[in-house]
């Protein structure tokens, strides 16, 4: 599991209802930790997290969502497009995970909230980073409409999602992010809806320990927006990486990994 993404290349296809998912699994006896990638990326975006989390004793699992990366929809074995939460549940059953820690950033955060509210008995802890959560509540929708204007949406993805500090200081890392994004979503992929719409009322029922991690330079989900929905998540911890943009885990892996591992160590334990 080298930092160049060897863990991803060593993944394997897993046949599940409606899809063959590309899955990486570090194995081992440690508590499982599932990572959910953003809309702009695949499991490759975790190449700076998997080695660190595995070294800390976790069994780290990633997968490309249906129609992204190497995960291929299979209409012959199940309905399309399904939901990512349902694919995650099928994968957890297939791997015999029992209970596990769940982490999602950006679009992966949408799914993490969706899944944790649906299967609360399975989630040991929840981490959501740099995500507006795809909430349907008018307060979030209004805020998001004001910042994600049509002119903003027309900008190249790297300008919308990667913070200026990172783009200015790490051109090679920025180029790698662009490369992963370029090969992320398959041309004919259909975006999977949430299992049920995310709302304030829905996430208020989540009981597990939670960390909400914002990025100070995030143009999609700035801290002010994330605080609105996080206020409805019981007993959550709040933290900010001030220089990171929307690609929070990619831009500041040292800070991101440290905060996640500290949260897991302090608030969660395998059962």
Q: Is the predicted pLDDT of residue 238 greater than 50, yes or no? A: yes
Give the count of domains, the chain: 1
178: pLDDT strictly greater than 80 = yes
> Does this model's pTM top 0.85?
yes
Confidence band, pLDDT 50/70/90 cuts, at residue 270? very low
Q: Tell me the pLDDT of the chain averaged across its residues.
A: 95
Work out the angle between the directed axes of helices 138-147 and 223-230 (0-180°, nearest 10): 170
Domain of 219? 6-267
Is 221 within the bounds of a domain? yes
Cβ contacts of residue 214 below 8 Å, gap of 6+?
129, 130, 221, 222, 223, 226, 227, 238, 239, 240, 241
- What is the predicted pLDDT for the residue at 1? 39
Start-end of H helices in 170-238: 171-182, 200-203, 223-230
Contact 81, 67 (CB under 8 A): yes
Looking at residue 5, its pLDDT comes to: 75
**Residue 77: inside a domain, yes or no?**
yes
Q: Domain for residue 187, yes or no? A: yes
Q: Burial, 53: exposed, middle or buried (Cβ in 10 Å; 0-12, 13-18, 19+)? A: buried
pLDDT at 271: 40
Question: What mean pLDDT is predicted for residues 27-33?
Answer: 95
Q: What angle do CA 142, 145, 149 make, to 5 degrees?
A: 160
Q: Is residue 1 part of a domain?
A: no
Any domain includes 109: yes
In a domain, 137, yes or no: yes
How many residues does the structure list for the chain? 271
Mean pLDDT confidence for 220-240: 97
Element (H, E) at 32: strand 32-36
Which CATH number fits the domain that encloses residue 17?
3.40.50.1820
Residue 30 inside a domain? The answer is: yes
71-91: pLDDT as tens digits:
999 999 999 999 999 999 999
Residue 159 lies in a domain: yes
């Amino acid at each position: 599991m080298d930092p160049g993404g060897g863990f991803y290349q060593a993944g394997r296809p897993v046949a599940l209802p409606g899809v063959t998912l590309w899955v990486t699994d570090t194995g081992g006896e440690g508590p499982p930790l599932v990572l959910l990638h953003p809309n702009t990326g695949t499991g490759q975006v975790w190449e700076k997290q998997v080695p660190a989390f595995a070294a800390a004793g976790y069994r780290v699992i990633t997968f490309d969502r249906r129609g992204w990366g190497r995960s291929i929809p299979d209409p012959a074995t199940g309905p399309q497009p399904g939901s990512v939460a349902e694919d995650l549940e099928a994968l957890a059953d297939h791997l015999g995970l029992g209970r596990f820690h769940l982490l999602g950033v950006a679009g992966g955060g949408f799914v993490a909230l969706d899944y944790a509210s649906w299967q609360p008995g399975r989630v040991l802890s929840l981490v959501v980073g740099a995500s507006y959560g795809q909430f349907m509540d008018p307060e979030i929708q209004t805020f998001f409409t004001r910042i994600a204007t049509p002119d903003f949406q027309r900008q190249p993805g790297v300008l919308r999602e990667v913070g200026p500090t990172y783009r200015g200081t790490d051109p090679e890392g920025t180029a790698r992010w662009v490369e992963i994004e370029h090969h992320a979503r398959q041309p004919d992929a259909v975006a999977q809806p949430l299992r049920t719409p995310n709302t304030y009322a829905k996430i208020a029922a989540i009981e597990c320990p939670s960390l909400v991690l914002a990025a100070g330079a995030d143009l999609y989900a700035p801290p002010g927006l994330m605080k609105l929905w996080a206020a409805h998540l019981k007993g959550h911890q709040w933290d900010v990486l001030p220089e990171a943009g929307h690609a929070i885990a990619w831009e500041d892996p040292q800070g991101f990994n440290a905060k996640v591992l500290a949260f897991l160590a302090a608030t969660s334990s395998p059962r």
